[in-house]
Amino acid sequence: MTKKEAQQEITSLRKLIRRHDERYYVYSDPEISDYEYDQLLKSLSQLEAKYPDLITPDSPTQRVAGRPADEFLRYQHRRQMLSLDNTYSYEDLREWHQRVLKGAGVGNVDYVAELKIDGLSISAIYENGLLTKGVTRGDGVFGEDVTQNVRTIRSLPLSIIKDQPAAAVRGNDEIVENETKAAHEIEVRGEVEVRGEAFLPSDVFVRINEDRAEQGLPLFANPRNAASGTMKSLDSKVVARRKLDCFCYELFFDGKKKTNTHWETLDWLGSAGFKVNPHRRLCRSIEDVIEFCAEWESKRDGLAYETDGVVIKVNSIALQAELGATSKAPRWAVAYKYPARQATTLLRDITVQVGRIGTLTPVAELEPVLLAGTTVSRASLHNEDQIKRLGVRIGDYVLIEKSGEIIPQVVRVIESRREGRESELRDFVMPTHCPVCGEEVRRLPGEVAWRCVNATCRSKLEGGLRLFASRTAMRIEGLGEALIEQLIVAQPKKDKRGEVVLQDTRPLLLPPLVQDFADLYRLKDRRDELINLERMGPKSADNLLAQIEESRNRDLLHLIYGLGIRHVGERTAQILAGAFESIDELMNASAEQLAGVFEIGEVIAASIADWFGELRNRELIERLKAAGLNTRRQFQHRETTGRTLDGKQFVLTGKLSTLSREDAKVMIEARGGRVTSSVTKKTDYIAAGDDPGSKLDRARELGINILNEDELMELLARK
């Protein structure tokens, strides 16, 4: 490839990635799979590595900085970043509206009502179209320069492109493809400042807190604190993994608002590729606004992020200017805050759950209480330290709170309700032994969580199998929860008539059918016992066995994910499967090598190295291999696969062990080759698995290249 061709390829890849970023991060409507996306990014990084002088700051590979920052610099905002006054009732809102009318000297005002996102406000500054600065609000006058972190927000474009065919978010709760006109008219020279709310999606918030609880770190009280804590992290690699997102709502050109209305501002932002919250409404009266607030008070539960209210803004920019601001907040905007979703209830007991990786988690068992539309009877207490921090005792009345889709939390003890009830209160004591297997629990150095380290503990196996069999992992559909429960406990031996065999007076127990993942692949040798399980019969047993057999051929990434290594989610598994050819390569990589992989941080790297460092885990991998599981990377992405086998004719014969013949055919054809059934002089290669038969003999006679399975894989992997 000449440099010129490389430049063209780079430009087109960047365009493509930007488009897919927008589809995924702005519209949540991806057109390609994560895997395909990763392949595009990989192709781009490879090209850029070859031609480093072609790297530009707005390339999608440049989102995450290489080195952590030492500190954040102070940055003076060109225009003060104001806060908002709050209202808590519709009455307050109507009064505010009267003040607006009076202040503006008009009879009526149009408002824009939009969701108030529970995050932290940031300012993104573009110079001549390029994102050059990202700053926190700070005290409104000075913020912190968090450019490195702001760049990790994938929904925030790294450059504003004038002629980008963007889809605009048009509001009124609907997304429509826009006729790109506004985007063409954008003048991006000079300084463009976009402000918005950076936030963490609710599921990310929950996951972060779960991780922190496990590590014994103090928990974030709400998504806003978590988002703000994340934004202030010095290591942008950590930030990138946390998946901050951002809804934009303010726009300045060289420090000035240039549109006529706020509604136009939002349209402009949408058509320039920024993410604008689609749930907004142009309101002709304050009663319209109130209707919007009422509507979203219940609908907000269904959102993937937290909103704590509605922001109401005067639509006309001219009127905004007329109304002005106090030193703290504008007079032309106000927040309407939803009441906190809190309730008081009795803490009846504290039980202990054992998680998939053995962590003991105390759970509050509550007197059932109605909270945000659902009855709550349990809440997480996270860890022993959290209980100490709260000073909570069994029998206390506690305040619980729910945010979004999140499991309710115990916020605090209602001390006043202890009076006269002291004798009913009990201290919680963390068990010294695992409530599931009875092994002694340990508190590992540097961790607050107590953990059951018994690898064969049933609680871990149960969750582990569930993950292993899940759709994103090995996809063994017949292996549901109820069945897993039966597979991992000892079952009574039954005779031919189905009667339980007794030893003395007790049932004779057989060892559990499954004690680790590899045992699944040996179930076929214990079919009789399988059939004897509840709700099982010959037919369902055979179906299950067939599915288990089929799962042997899953691609490497599914296996990596299915192992349930701490911090290795689906995406990380994909990254790893892209960087390592096989489970052996991954298993033998050092923490340093792992951390050297693009987008793998030190914490993940250490966790992977730790996992493979455990003898019993290495043994598990060996057992999986012995069971005939595919442990190598198989699939390459179509678009990034070169036509390396153009015009070549293949014949496949015998049984291939790592991939099915169907898959092999697809892979050969993806590279421009053809697969035929009979061997002729035109055949270029014959790939022979086990028990090849007469075709191989014929190929030998004709002097055709013979490939064994490894050689075929190698040929397919060639670039």
Q: Does 245 bind ligand IVH (CB under 6 A)?
A: no
Among 64, 100, 117, 608, binds ligand IVH (CB under 6 A): 117
Q: Of the two residues 197 and 401, which places its CB atom closer to ligand IVH in the complex? A: 197
3-state secondary structure 342-411: EEEEEEEEEEEEECCCCEEEEEEEEEEEEECCEEEEEEECCCHHHHHHHCCCECCEEEEECCCCCCCEEE
Quote the distance between the C-alpha of residue 99 and its chain's center.
Answer: 44
Per-residue x/- marks for ligand IVH, 325-354, CB under 6 A?
-----x--x-x-------------------
Q: Of the two residues 195 and 451, which places its CB atom closer to ligand IVH in the complex? A: 195
Kindly state the smallest distance separating residue 161's Cβ from ligand IVH, in Å.
25
Residue nearest to ligand IVH (CB): 121
Q: Of the two residues 333 and 381, which places its CB atom closer to ligand IVH in the complex? A: 333
Which residue pairs, CB below 8 angstroms and at least 24 apart, start in 480-489? 482/535, 483/533, 483/535, 483/536, 483/544, 484/514, 486/513, 486/533, 486/534, 487/512, 487/513, 487/514, 487/533, 488/458, 488/461, 488/462, 488/512, 488/513, 488/514, 488/515, 489/458
Q: Does 136 bind ligand IVH (CB under 6 A)?
A: no
Q: Does 521 bind ligand IVH (CB under 6 A)?
A: no
Among 59, 87, 121, 222, binds ligand IVH (CB under 6 A): 121
Sequence-distant (≥ 6) Cβ neighbours of residue 53 within 8 angstroms: none
Among 32, 82, 346, 414, binds ligand IVH (CB under 6 A): 82
Q: How many residues bind ligand IVH (CB under 6 A)?
A: 13
Q: Does 114 bind ligand IVH (CB under 6 A)?
A: yes
Q: What angle do CA 711, 716, 719 make, to 5 degrees?
A: 120
Given the rule CB under 6 A, which of 42-50, 77-85, 294-302, 652-660 is the region that contacts ligand IVH?
77-85
Subset of 303-322 contacting ligand IVH (CB under 6 A): 311
Residues 128 and 313: beta-carbon distance below 8 Å = no
Q: Of the two residues 84 and 161, which places its CB atom closer to ligand IVH in the complex? A: 84
Q: Name the 3-class secondary structure at 445.
A: coil
Q: Of the two residues 144 and 197, which places its CB atom closer to ligand IVH in the complex? A: 197
CA-CA distances (angstroms) from residue 311 to 21, 89, 323?
A: 28, 13, 17
Extract the runs of DSSP E, i.e. beta strands, from 421-564. Answer: 442-443, 450-451, 491-492, 502-503, 506-507, 509-510
Given the rule CB under 6 A, which of 109-117, 295-303, 352-360, 598-606 is the region that contacts ligand IVH?
109-117
Which residue of the set 116, 237, 402, 695 is catalytic? 116
Q: How many residues does the chain have?
A: 719
Kindly state the smallest distance separating residue 332's Cβ from ligand IVH, in Å.
8
116 is a catalytic site residue: yes
Q: What angle do CA 253, 259, 264 make, to 5 degrees?
A: 120
Per-residue x/- marks for ligand IVH, 170-199, CB under 6 A?
---------------------------x--
The whole-angstrom separation of Cα 366 and Cα 346 is: 6
Residues within the interface to ligand IVH (CB under 6 A): 82-84, 114, 116-117, 121, 197, 249, 311, 330, 333, 335
- Report, as residue numbers or ranges, the catalytic residues: 116
